[in-house]
């Protein structure tokens, strides 16, 4: 079945470009011209992924993401008209999976969408061990869920893949580049700050349930799995 993408941007030309790229890639799309419409269609259309412009009048993309993350873990790919790191970092901290800066290549946009959807549906992980546990935390690669003390933790697709990499190699210290390779396709590059933002969000979600040492920092090298207590 063709993947359904919600395209949110106040610029009709951008929406048309994205819709054309999606259709060419065998996906189907629904459009929203502002943040309010995006929240409505996120419920009514049940998209597999949302492409979300950050700079919109009244209700911007960051606010839309904040509202969606209260009830949904639908993957979100941000579009940013400004190449400012703070926009991207805040978006990722709020629960976005990835970002693309305008002007963008439709081919790269589709590649990033496919990468996110692949992470969401499991990719190669489905053939590996289905359930892994460490301390109070367990992850299930069949359902792509994580839990802490028996309580489910809502992770984005990217966050899950990063945590899964750490669980598979609990004694390994990963560099940011190595984690990048685990979470993104080989043809996609993101900054170190992007990985750091995802790690902070993983920590915050588990800390809210009492697990304060999920990911340990090895200064000067990168990250490893913590005690998960």
How would CATH label the architecture of 123-225?
Answer: Orthogonal Bundle (1.10)
Token look-up 């496919």 returns: 114
Cα three-residue angle 8-13-14, rounded to 5 degrees: 45
Q: At 130, phi and psi to the nearest 5?
A: -75, -40
With CA atoms as reference, report the closest residue to 46 among 104, 94, 102, 1.
1
By residue count, the chain amounts to: 229
- Does the model's pTM come out above 0.75? no
pLDDT-above-90 percentage for the chain: 47
* pLDDT beyond 80 at 208: yes
User: What pLDDT digit, counting tens, does each position of 67-108 carry?
Assistant: 999 888 899 999 987 666 667 677 888 888 888 888 889 998
Extended beta strands in 9-154, E state: 28-32, 49-53, 76-80, 98-101, 131-134, 137-140, 145-148, 151-153
The listed range with the strongest mean pLDDT (18-32, 93-107, 124-138, 161-175) is 18-32
pLDDT at 42 (0 to 100): 96
Domains 4-121 and 123-225 share a fold: no
The correct answer on CATH 3.40.50.2300 for the domain covering 4-121 is yes
CA atoms within 13 A on the CB side of 83: 5
Predicted confidence at residue 125, as pLDDT, reads 44
| Summary mean pLDDT of the chain | 87
The pLDDT of residue 124 is: 45
Domain spans in the chain, listed from the N-terminal domain onward = 4-121, 123-225
């Amino acid at each position: 079945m063709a993947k359904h993408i919600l395209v949110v941007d106040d610029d009709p030309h951008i929406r048309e470009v994205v819709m054309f790229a999606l259709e060419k890639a065998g996906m189907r799309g629904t459009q929203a011209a502002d943040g309010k419409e995006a929240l409505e269609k996120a419920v009514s259309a049940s998209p597999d992924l949302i492409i979300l412009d950050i700079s919109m009048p009244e209700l911007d993309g960051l606010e839309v993401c904040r509202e969606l993350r209260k009830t949904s873990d639908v993957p979100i790919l941000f579009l940013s008209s400004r190449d400012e790191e703070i926009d991207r970092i805040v978006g990722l901290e709020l629960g976005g999976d990835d970002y693309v800066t305008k002007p963008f290549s439709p081919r790269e946009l589709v590649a990033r969408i496919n990468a996110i959807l692949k992470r969401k549906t499991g990719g190669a992980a489905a053939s590996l061990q289905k359930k892994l546990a460490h301390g109070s935390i367990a992850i299930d690669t069949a359902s792509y869920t994580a839990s802490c003390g028996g309580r489910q933790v809502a992770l984005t697709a990217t966050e899950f893949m990063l945590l899964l990499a750490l669980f598979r190699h609990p004694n390994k210290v990963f560099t940011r580049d190595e984690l990048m390779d685990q979470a993104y396709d080989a043809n996609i590059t993101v900054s170190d700050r992007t990985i750091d933002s995802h790690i902070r969000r993983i920590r915050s979600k588990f800390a809210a349930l009492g697990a304060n040492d999920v990911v340990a920092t090895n200064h000067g090298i990168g990250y490893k799995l913590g005690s998960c207590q």
